[in-house]
Structure 1
């Protein structure tokens, strides 16, 4: 199994038919047609005693997917007085990738701040501030996460005790950060996890007085947070148990290029080692990191980036995928219970292009799954979701940086690799299967036209002359060879 296969953890799965007992078990005022799915909600609430005025459509979760779903409701004229969003956060939905990139820059390097990155500016859309939701008649309940769920009564209970009613429900609860055990020092002051704005604010406060930073984890969070720390000129060390950075995607050769660059930026690596204990100093704040090999590192700030877990509670009964995690949905994001949908990080969905079920933790999927789901809910749209896996990162983009990094990857990292370029600044990696068919492509520092070519290549999966690709004198030449292979 390839690394990206493990990253999205996929297996084949089939949803039960609409006529199955699993569907008929739950009463729901919904019009269904087996040939086109959900036609139109006819739900109207007259009952009193519920805390939400807007009850026809309810979205649980206030992240990226919720923001894009809200925009799609507005585009269809179905938001005003009908849509309610229930969020655990104190702010309106925003573009979450900013938290580990621009948000962590020091004040003199123009850090990102709200309302600058509310959805949907990440895809060129209108900035949806709290006033935007009010102006479009969307009810948003802030800082009150859902803790209870009754599918038969079609009600939700929030942490403050509010009872909410819904006609159609969209679960968009996302993921929570994987934490180190409390007994290992995972909750000490100065130990940070980053999933929302309040986490980022706390980390910025620590960075303002930090001297020695330890980042645990060599994936996305580790790379992006350590790059941001370099902007503060802090003593920074990344620790991870694998042999190289981003092992789920990068080849060892590609990782080496980035590790060399990070080292030039003043970042140290401790590879192939595990954390045994985080220990506090006299003031109760984290002071040392004890490694599995017995060594210790002095620190005053620790950032943990060791993965995330889908937030499925309290919705376990709608049906979980025990292999990839998350809530199982079909190609239209319908769960096993009519009228209930799941989108974004929490959804385990059929990955059509590779004929398997996947759960993808990425902003691109959060946006697209939200839009696809709402179109399904509001119209006779029944085209299966056909997602192409896509990952990217942007680091060292603060003012004064001597080297800005921006890479993109499309497809699946399965098969043999061919690397082209010298990382000055470009480098490309191509994954070819045994039939010389392109399965995935990675590009660093491409121009807009080159980046636009990547998804075309990954989706078309052309057969490429392996010898010609290996002999390509430059990234530009390699991409041209790949492009010509599609004709």
Structure 2
């Protein structure tokens, strides 16, 4: 969605601070990756190539399938292999993390709550509990015969030999390789204080643990960035009753002890801070896979509608994949758990079955904040579609708010906060069908409910044509 809309939504949401010292000053930032169509890429060379070596020189015991990555996409891909009865003795997962894949969104939501707010902890949110599935702990992988290599990231890829090398020097053989490495957090340069003690980036459990240690003794927190990370961490900081500011900065300054002590803004104004969280976006973790076709427009690894790269036997899913967004006729990357889950499942189903229909994804983003115990109000919003055209905002934050994107008369996207289950169910239908809506009449509606009824009625008009 547009940065201006999300900034306004974030400011409204965080006004629930109830006098707890939270102020906001959010910078410009890039949210949904909207890009031009790239030149077409041929995947004619693709073939299924399950090569099983007989040598004992390989550290993964010659498994047919290898998944590289430890996030949501990797966990959901593993579940799909199990559902196809193709995991036991055939699948290996390689990850830089110390634990099996987990539901990463929990890190900036439940995990950061103070102890009296009953924070989330592992193994409580291992995949695939986020979608109502079984909790895939270390024991789960053992029970299903899945080999796991943790804290040993892949450092190089040999396409001809179909081998991977890890940081410890292990040599892994693959028949089919699924890259699910996700993204890494964008960092501030060291020369402006990006690596000071007390400066945090959050992407994994270790990052979250480090941040919690700072929050436990923090007095003044500054959050840089106004997207998901900024909004959700700011909400969690309110739970700690901390004085929190969201801001755009020029550089960070250290105190005499080497720890961050202040934030210098572009206008020269100084804000004292003993904890700074940087949430300015992320970069696809292509690392050792740069030999593959990379997208020049959205970053990441270029794939087709079945998540096949241009190299036979290699696939990419989740945040790192640059895939054809069919309904909008362009290439995109989507950094969200919903896409991570769906893309992994679609890829494995295509790999192991006769499925040939291409991935037809409707962009879907959601977030939940202030969900800790004792919170005066929980905030939950959902967005479907495309953030293009003019915006029409209806309602206020009490009790709910909605934003509609209208382009050439067609409804392209819609966001709703604090909606009922029935209202949320109509959003993907509206975004998928893209009915014609009178922007002026929509703007003059008196409530969110009336606006949604008007948009829904336009569906019937379209059907009658």
What TM-score results when the alignment is normalised by the length of structure 1? Answer: 0.86
What is the match of residue 189 of structure 1?
A: 197
What is the match of residue 135 of structure 2?
A: 127
Shift of 1:315: 0.6
Match status 1:11 vs 2:36: yes
Query: Per the alignment, in what secondary structure is the counterpart of residue 318 of structure 1?
Result: coil
Shift of 1:111: 0.6
Shift of 1:470: 2.7
Match status 1:226 vs 2:234: yes
* Greater mean deviation of Cα atoms: 229-238 or 393-402: 393-402
What is the match of residue 459 of structure 1?
A: 432
Distance in 2 between residues matched to 1:60 and 1:327, nearest whole Å: 14
Among 323, 328, 335, the residue aligned to 2:297 = 323
Query: Per the alignment, in what secondary structure is the counterpart of residue 210 of structure 1?
Result: coil
What is the match of residue 295 of structure 1?
A: 269
Distance in 2 between residues matched to 1:462 and 1:215, nearest whole Å: 39
Shift of 1:344: 0.5
Asked if structure 1 preserves the Cα contact closer than 8 Å seen for 2:52 and 2:174, the reply is no
Match status 1:445 vs 2:450: no
Distance in 2 between residues matched to 1:340 and 1:170, nearest whole Å: 6
Distance in 2 between residues matched to 1:147 and 1:336, nearest whole Å: 20
Asked if structure 1 preserves the Cα contact closer than 8 Å seen for 2:42 and 2:310, the reply is no
Among 440, 445, 456, the residue aligned to 1:472 = 445
Match status 1:141 vs 2:149: yes
Asked if structure 2 preserves the Cα contact closer than 8 Å seen for 1:229 and 1:236, the reply is yes
Match status 1:45 vs 2:53: yes
Distance in 2 between residues matched to 1:411 and 1:104, nearest whole Å: 30
Which aligned pairs between 1:259-270 and structure 2 lie closer than 5 A? none
What is the match of residue 422 of structure 1?
A: 396
**Distance change in 2, residues 1:276/1:419 (3 Å):** closer
Shift of 1:429: 1.1
Shift of 1:442: 0.6
What is the match of residue 410 of structure 1?
A: 384
Distance in 2 between residues matched to 1:131 and 1:295, nearest whole Å: 53
Shift of 1:220: 1.1
* Greater mean deviation of Cα atoms: 64-73 or 458-467: 458-467
Match status 1:165 vs 2:173: yes
Asked if structure 1 preserves the Cα contact closer than 8 Å seen for 2:52 and 2:62, the reply is no
Shift of 1:58: 0.2
Match status 1:334 vs 2:308: yes
Shift of 1:421: 1.5
Among 109, 116, 122, the residue aligned to 2:117 = 109
Shift of 1:17: 3.4
Match status 1:395 vs 2:420: no
Distance in 1 between residues matched to 2:62 and 2:380, nearest whole Å: 42
- Superimposed CA distance per residue, residues 277-304 of structure 1 (whole angstroms, 9 cap, x where no aligned partner): 2111122111111222212111110100
Distance in 1 between residues matched to 2:299 and 2:334, nearest whole Å: 10
Asked if structure 1 preserves the Cα contact closer than 8 Å seen for 2:112 and 2:208, the reply is yes
Distance in 1 between residues matched to 2:203 and 2:31, nearest whole Å: 22
Shift of 1:2: 7.1
Distance in 2 between residues matched to 1:401 and 1:162, nearest whole Å: 48
Distance in 1 between residues matched to 2:218 and 2:162, nearest whole Å: 48
Asked if structure 1 preserves the Cα contact closer than 8 Å seen for 2:50 and 2:176, the reply is no
What is the match of residue 265 of structure 1?
A: none
Distance in 2 between residues matched to 1:351 and 1:42, nearest whole Å: 28
Shift of 1:422: 2.2
Match status 1:379 vs 2:404: no
Shift of 1:449: 1.5
Query: Per the alignment, in what secondary structure is the counterpart of residue 486 of structure 1?
Result: helix
Q: Which runs of 5+ in 1 are unaligned?
A: 25-31, 33-37, 241-274
Among 339, 342, 347, the residue aligned to 2:321 = 347
Query: Per the alignment, in what secondary structure is the counterpart of residue 164 of structure 1?
Result: strand
Among 334, 345, 349, the residue aligned to 1:360 = 334
Asked if structure 2 preserves the Cα contact closer than 8 Å seen for 1:10 and 1:359, the reply is no
How many residues end up aligned between the 2 structures? 435
Distance in 2 between residues matched to 1:297 and 1:355, nearest whole Å: 45
Asked if structure 2 preserves the Cα contact closer than 8 Å seen for 1:155 and 1:164, the reply is yes
Aligned Cα root-mean-square deviation (Å): 1.7
- Superimposed CA distance per residue, residues 174-230 of structure 1 (whole angstroms, 9 cap, x where no aligned partner): 110011111111111110000000000000011001111010111111111111001
**Distance change in 2, residues 1:82/1:403 (3 Å):** same
Distance in 2 between residues matched to 1:93 and 1:335, nearest whole Å: 23
